[in-house]
Homo-oligomer: A and B are copies of this chain.
């Protein structure tokens, strides 16, 4: 057996992610990655067959962590299963709390890749879409539970309401970065929580 390559691989992934947020993917050269990690070209191509294999590994890791956080928030609010609106609001609150700890603008690889789509293979781009659809499915379930006990105060399309959470995340990331101040995601998730709160009122049960 040889030595353990995981620390090197992890370092490549961590530094590459940071570089992609600064330069974009095609704006990030492998030489830059070597400089930051202190490894050599041979080592890089030992771990990743091509630059695009790195892109795939990056998005897979990012999406795995994203869905992990989503499921953690789901678990944490399981005790509110019988109070679906409270659960939905608390689910959002979990992310408000999470983003309150962030100082610098948070960046999202989905948006980064989405704005230079030609640089990635179909599989990589599909992985982003599928992860977003996982969010949609989860939000749809939470919302449908609410709709059993509450009526929307205005007419809404459930699917687009389900997508609205991801929309606000992505939008808040862009605006936070563009304004170069602190991360504003928590602030905008609060508006989402407000919207959910105002949107649903107890059902008038007829009998």
Contacts and interface: CB of A to CB of B under 8 A. Distances in A.
A167 B172 contact: yes
Contacts of A187: 157, 160, 163
Interface residues of A, number: 53
B26 A24 contact: yes
A13 interface: no
B179 A175 contact: no
A21 interface: yes
A20 B177 CA distance: 19
B107 A115 contact: yes
- Chain A contact residues, majority secondary structure: helix
Interface in A123-160: 125, 128-129, 132-133, 153-154, 156-157, 160
A22 B117 CA distance: 6
Contacts of A188: 160, 163-164, 167
Contacts of A129: 178-180
B171 A118 contact: no
Interface stretch (A44-52, A64-72, A194-202): A194-202
A16 to B, nearest CB: 14
Interface in A166-196: 166-172, 174-175, 177-180, 184, 187-188, 190-191, 194-195
A119 to B, nearest CB: 5
A42 B179 CA distance: 36
A125 B181 CA distance: 13
Interface of A: 21-27, 107, 110-112, 114-119, 125, 128-129, 132-133, 153-154, 156-157, 160-161, 163-164, 166-172, 174-175, 177-180, 184, 187-188, 190-191, 194-195, 197-199
